[in-house]
Each structure stands twice: as C-alpha cells, then as structure tokens.
Structure 1
Amino acid sequence: MPDTRKRSAHILGRVLATVGRSVGIFIPVFVVATFVTFALRQMSGLSPARIQLGEKATPEAIARVEAQWGLDRPFLAQYGDWFNGVLHGRLGTSWTNGSDISTLIGTGLGVSLSVAGAALVIGVVLGFVLGTVAALRRTTWIDRAVTGFVTVISVMPAFVVGIVLVTVFAVGLGWFPSAGYVPLAQGFGPWSLHILLPALALSCDVVADVARQLRTSLIAASLENYVTGAVVRGLSPRRIFLGHVLRNALGPTLATLGLKFPALVGASVVTEWIFGLQGFGRFANDAAQAGDVPAVQGVLVVSIVLVVGFNLIVNLVLARVTPAAQRGV
C-alpha cells in the first residue's frame, strides 16, 4: 500500500512538473505573440474606415470612424484593452460586418476541429499499423511496399486527394455527401458521413509521418542493449516488443504530432473549399482577403492556444508512457 501511494505521488509529481514547465513557457510566448499580433494592425496601415467608407473617404470621416473604434487612443492602451478581452474570451468585433469575432470563430472552429480530429485519428491509427508492420518485416517486400506507399501519399496535396475522393466516393458511388457539414448534435452517423472524406484527404501527411518515424524508432530501439538483455533473460517476444521496444520508440513518434493537429486545422482551407465547409481555415482566409484585422488577430490567438494546448497534451502523454520521461531524462 505505501508503495502504491508513493508511485501515485511520483506520477502526480511528474504530471504537475510537466504542466508547470508548459505553463512557464506558454505565458511569455503568449504575451509576446499577442503583442506582435496586435502590432500587425499598426504596421498594416489598414483601417475600418477604409473598409466601411471606401478609398475616397475624407480625412474627417476616417477620423470619426476610427474614433468610434477607439483607434485614436495610444497603442499600449488599445493593446491593454484588447489583451484583457482576450483573457476573458472576447476577441473583438469584425470590421466588415460588426459581428462578434469569438462567435464567428467558434462556429468555424467546430467544423475544422471535427475534420482535423478525425484526420489525426485516421493518420495515427493507419500510420501506427503501417510503421509497425514495416519495422517488424524490415528489409522484406512488405517493408519496401509500405515505404513506397507512404512516400507516394506524403507528396500528394490534400486538395488533389480531396477531388479524387469526391469524384469516386461521392459523385461516382454516392456513398458519401459531396459537400456540407452536419453538427455532431444532430447524430453521429450524419456527422461522420460529412467529415470522413475531408478527414481522409487531410490525413495522408499524418499517416506518412507517423509510419516513417515509428518504423525508424522501432528499428533503432530493437537494436539497443536492453533488448538484448531482455532476450537473454528469456522474456517472450511479445513482452519485449510491448514493454521495451514500443514504449521507447513512442517518444519521437509522439513528438512529431506536437504540431500536427494545429497544422491540420490551419491547412484545411483548401479542403474546406472543395467540400463546401465553412470552417476555421476558410474563415481565416476570408478575413485576410477582406482586410478584417481584428478577425485575423483572433485567428492568430486561437492558433497559438491550439499549438500550445496540443503540445501540452502530447507532453503529458510522453511523461506517462515513455520510460525516459518517467526517469526524468
């Protein structure tokens, strides 16, 4: 019983240490990133008056509109108010339509997180299977076939894969809808049917990265001295693979996922156009095209949170499953 409590306390200590390190990195990065993000408006020279009144607006009219938006105040005062709003979940108001940016981003983010989350699950599962099979059958035709397959899909753009999937499975076979999105609240079946094709299109890069990294890590781990020692001790091949090789090989593979999920959300803009989805990536593109600086700032803030948040999750998983992290290495 004392050993169990001691082990639980040790695990809790590692988790708290990981969270503490991540928070310690996140706070200064977040402050600097938001400051630079907010300063982009000053450097861009864009103004809501130009959007609302046009290029022929008089200086008096421009000054009046900018005063309404509080842009005549000192820069640091504007940043302080905006940053305080960000901390409370308020990302400002759109210059183009006067809508709340948090609401607009929330609507699109739900779509993109659904697609990106499904793409990540598909990529991890398929990549894990392919990488493991290739490592266990290394130097055979199976290894060469897996390596060739992941090389091909890694260089295929998501929009090309998306067009092929729509043509074959939506238009040709009619198995899936070709466009649109149904929220999960309306049923798992309709929701999954609408996100599966775009998720498959986005998952190719994840499959390739996970498979290649896991294959390399498994082969390297299988050649370590501790594996030889386990064989000498008479441990079964399954126990050696699961308890020694796989656990030590997972670290580099999980680390590659640190930026994958936020990158999938950001890279979904073309896929969203193909499948008719009003997601986060498409919203970001529309905001940038319209010169809606507050909306672009909101997108950058949410992206920063996604990157840091997902990396925190990855670090927590690493601290739990990899032997090196458990030893504090």
Structure 2
Amino acid sequence: MIKGLLSGLVRTIAIFVPVFGVATFVTFALRALSGLSPAHLQLGESATPETIAQIEHEWGLDRPFLTQYFDWFGDLLDGDLGVSWFNGADISRLLLEGAVISLSVAGLALVIGVVFGFGFGVLAAVRRTTWVDRAITGFMTFISVMPSFVVGIALVVVFAVALGWFPSAGYVPAERGWAVWLAHITLPAIALSFDTVSDVARQLRAGLVAAYRENYVTGAVVRGLSPRRIFFRHVLRNGMGPALTVLGMKFPNLLGGAVVTESIFGMPGFGQFAADSAQRGDVPAVQGVLVVSVVLVVVFNLLVNVILVRVTPASARGV
C-alpha cells in the first residue's frame, strides 16, 4: 500500500512539474500575444506612443521577454503574483478573497455531488435491471443536460423569490455566522452540482455492476458471505475507481461553471474576478487566475489519486 502510494505521488509530481512549467510559460506569453499594455488600460484612447513607452518602462515591460518571464516566475514561486494593471492592487490578495468564495461554493457542490452521486449510484447498482435502476438512470440523464445557469435561475425563482427560504444573491463570510454563510452558498452549489451528481452516479453504477460480475464476488457468494459483506468488502472497493476518477475531472468544471453561477447569484468570487479581469484587459490578473487554477486542479487530482490508491486495490497495484 505504501509503495503504491509513493509510486502514485511520484507519477503525479513528475507530471505536474513539466505541466506547471509549460502552463506558466504559456500564461506569461499571453501579454505579448495580446498586445495589451497597462498604458492602454490606464489612459485609454488618450495614450500616446511616448506615454505608452514611459508606462511600460515603469512596469519593466521594455526588457527582454525571457528576462521578464524568469523574474515573474521567481516571484510566483515566492507567492507573489504581481499587481493589477487596473487599480494597482495586489493580485494575490484579490485572488485569495475571490477563491474563498468560489471554493466555498465548489466545495459544497462537490460534497453534494459525492453524497447524492454515490447514493444514487449504489442504489441503481444494488437494484440493477429493476424499475428503480431505470428510473435513476433516466433521472441522471435528464439532470446531466441541464445547464447550471438554467438550474440557478429556476432555484432563485422557486426557493428564493417564491418560497423565501434562501437569499437570492450575495455572499456573507462564515465569520458572520455559519448558518447565514451556508444559506448564501446553498443555491449556487446545488446549481453547480447537477452534472457531478449525474456523472458520479452513472460511473459508480457501471463500476459496481462490473464488479458484481467478477469471479471473486462469485467465490464470496459460494463461501456463504452475506450480501452486505460482499458489497462493502469486495464490490464497492473494486467498483468505485471510475467514479473517483470522474471526481478528479469534475473539479475544473466546477471552477469554470462558477463564472456563470456567480454572475447569477451576484457573488464576487474567483470566476467573477476572472471574467471582469478578462473584460478589462488586466493581463497580470488573468495570468494569476490561470496559474492558481492550474495549481488547484493538479492538487485536487493528486488528492484523488491518493484516495484511489488507499481505497481501491487495483490502483494500489498500479493497474
């Protein structure tokens, strides 16, 4: 188990290092490719070639490209993402403020996806080929095609406006009360979770049904083991791998879907900050968003790989 865990960590790190290097280089090259300048953002149409050259010199943008990149990369390793062209604010602080909001929503959406996805998937697998299995499969297919912005609008109309159970927009930090915080992130989290619920449920159902057909399950039945013990000892451990793998791929979707969802619910989160920065042409802010997104996705996939090795025997053997 420990050997498999270390092997998985080494493989993930070996993939992460070159991916992170390429991603940061491409991200930094965005400024040169975009042709944008802080002078255009600060001065608008009144910018002249002289003022543009002066401002770019102040920002160090007249230096060689690789010199700028390595200086930026060195600051990045120290946790410094630079300052915004728009207002001169520290990008690390702005991203942290937005990431707290987005990760709160995405984290709750992930919890909802895991709880309901595993619940529906297990129920469908245990009742396979029955009307329960067909009903769950049909319902999962239906919610998988529902766009998050449509679900979000429907949730606001029903549960915020009509029933008044939840606030329709805004965000309240957890420091001001856990109940109020949870009430503000529940509807956007539900809107984001539909796709995760459906994919986890379908992948888990397929994995469990396949595990039920394996010889070791037949052998356990012949030995007289109880259905409960067979399920938890053999079927679940060997059949949940595809569902866990799907979770690793769903996290980027949750962060990406936050852009639209945060706009609907008026939440100044990570996604909304990324959209606003892109519209303004604030290149350092966009670069910071992309770098943080890459790190979050890789870290989350690393956690999923660790869980896979710990939980599923096939992953521990490197299968």
Cα drift, residue 13 of structure 1 = 3.4
2:82 equivalent in structure 1: 92
CA distance in 1, matches of 2:316, 2:93: 41
Match of 2:279 among 253, 265, 289: 289
Structure 1 runs not aligned, ≥5 long: 1-10
CA distance in 2, matches of 1:89, 1:306: 14
2:314 equivalent in structure 1: 324
- Checking the alignment, whether the CA contact within 8 Å between 2:5 and 2:316 is kept in structure 1 is no
1:159 equivalent in structure 2: 149
Cα drift, residue 136 of structure 1 = 1.1
Matched, 1:280 2:277: no
Query: Quick check: 234-243 or 50-59, which moved more?
Result: 50-59
SS at match of 2:19: helix
Cα drift, residue 183 of structure 1 = 1.2
Cα drift, residue 328 of structure 1 = 3.4
- Checking the alignment, whether the CA contact within 8 Å between 1:94 and 1:101 is kept in structure 2 is yes
Matched, 1:110 2:100: yes
Which amino acid in structure 1 is aligned with residue 196 of structure 2?
A: V
SS at match of 1:257: helix
SS at match of 2:45: coil
Matched, 1:251 2:241: yes
SS at match of 1:95: coil
- Checking the alignment, whether the CA contact within 8 Å between 1:41 and 1:293 is kept in structure 2 is yes
CA distance in 2, matches of 1:101, 1:321: 38
CA distance in 1, matches of 2:148, 2:110: 14
CA distance in 2, matches of 1:208, 1:279: 25
Match of 2:117 among 106, 112, 127: 127
Aligned-residue Cα RMSD (Å) equals: 1.0
CA distance in 1, matches of 2:99, 2:223: 52
**Per-residue displacement from partner, 1:237-273 (whole Å, max 9, x unpaired)?**
1111111111111111100111212320121111111
**Per-residue displacement from partner, 1:139-195 (whole Å, max 9, x unpaired)?**
211111111111111111111111111111111111111111111222211111111
CA distance in 2, matches of 1:83, 1:219: 48
CA distance in 2, matches of 1:328, 1:65: 54
Matched, 1:52 2:36: no
- Map residues 307-322 of structure 1 onto 2, 5 A cutoff: 307-322=297-312
Cα drift, residue 23 of structure 1 = 1.4
Which amino acid in structure 1 is aligned with residue 142 of structure 2?
A: V
2:221 equivalent in structure 1: 231
CA distance in 2, matches of 1:266, 1:86: 23
CA distance in 2, matches of 1:327, 1:102: 40
CA distance in 2, matches of 1:219, 1:161: 30
Which amino acid in structure 1 is aligned with residue 152 of structure 2?
A: G
**Per-residue displacement from partner, 1:193-216 (whole Å, max 9, x unpaired)?**
111111000000000000110111
- Checking the alignment, whether the CA contact within 8 Å between 2:84 and 2:90 is kept in structure 1 is yes
Structure 2 runs not aligned, ≥5 long: none
Which amino acid in structure 1 is aligned with residue 288 of structure 2?
A: G
1:42 equivalent in structure 2: 32
SS at match of 1:55: helix
CA distance in 2, matches of 1:16, 1:213: 27
Cα drift, residue 289 of structure 1 = 0.5
- Map residues 16-27 of structure 1 onto 2, 5 A cutoff: 16-27=6-17
| TM-score, structure 2 normalization | 0.98
| TM-score, structure 1 normalization | 0.95
Which amino acid in structure 1 is aligned with residue 204 of structure 2?
A: L
2:197 equivalent in structure 1: 207
- Checking the alignment, whether the CA contact within 8 Å between 1:117 and 1:261 is kept in structure 2 is no
User: Runs of 4+ in structure 1 displaced over 4 angstroms?
Assistant: none
1:298 equivalent in structure 2: 288
CA distance in 1, matches of 2:39, 2:164: 48
**Per-residue displacement from partner, 1:79-131 (whole Å, max 9, x unpaired)?**
01110111111111111111111111110110000000000000111011111
Aligned residues between the structures:
319
Match of 1:175 among 165, 169, 177: 165
Cα drift, residue 300 of structure 1 = 0.4
